[in-house]
Chain A
């Protein structure tokens, strides 16, 4: 399977714990995006990378959130001191370049904070 993969698919954690999600984009794609989707809503943009550079961050990305793409391949999204409001589906997408119009999405990581 050469699509976008995300790990884990599901995560249940207690409030106050730290969690980390991983996204592996399609191998030749240099753009990688993170979105968050809460119940009944469309995905909301969090941040994106061009290769290893983080080019834009949404104001939704509080200082408890950090994302990295150290070698321009896979990316991690860490949430520190989780809150119940962080419960959501976290989606990763990748695209070939800034010009390419299609973003390919992964299956998402569903986070539940108890």
Chain B
């Protein structure tokens, strides 16, 4: 069964410092995608970054980077130079790209990590 595990319920980081949010995943399918979403208190899910299982390089998007370690089945999010506006819930998610002849599009989410940025 596919599963996403986020073991950090809450994290604190000082403004302008870097922070790593942990994510491990479980799937037996060879082709999958890993995602990180940010959910502010307003509730909307904001896409941050994507990593495909066959991508050779770690994904980066501005201050966000994904530390993809396939053998360890981990996909940690690194936020550099934290800002007060980064305070939010962060969700790791996985999508199986092609499964058993069909294409599954739904995302499987972890329970999230609440990040608080201190001034």
Q: What is the interface of chain A, defined by CB distance below 8 A to chain B?
A: 31, 33, 35, 40-45, 48, 56, 58, 89, 91, 93, 95, 98, 101-108, 110
Chain B residues whose CB sits within 8 angstroms of the CB of A33 once the complex forms: 105-107
Chain A residues whose CB sits within 8 angstroms of the CB of B44 once the complex forms: 105-108
Q: Does B93 contact A (CB under 8 A)?
A: yes
Asked if A42 contacts B110 (CB within 8 A), the reply is yes
Asked if A43 contacts B107 (CB within 8 A), the reply is yes
Q: For the complex, give the distance between the alpha carbons of A59 and B65 in Å.
A: 34
Count residues of chain B with CB under 8 A from any CB of chain A: 25
Choose the segment among B13-21, B45-53, B66-74, B80-88 that binds chain A (4+ C-beta atoms closer than 8 Å). Answer: B45-53
Chain A residues whose CB sits within 8 angstroms of the CB of B35 once the complex forms: 101
Q: For the complex, give the distance between the alpha carbons of A97 and B72 in Å.
A: 30
Chain B residues whose CB sits within 8 angstroms of the CB of A45 once the complex forms: 106-108
Asked if A42 contacts B106 (CB within 8 A), the reply is no
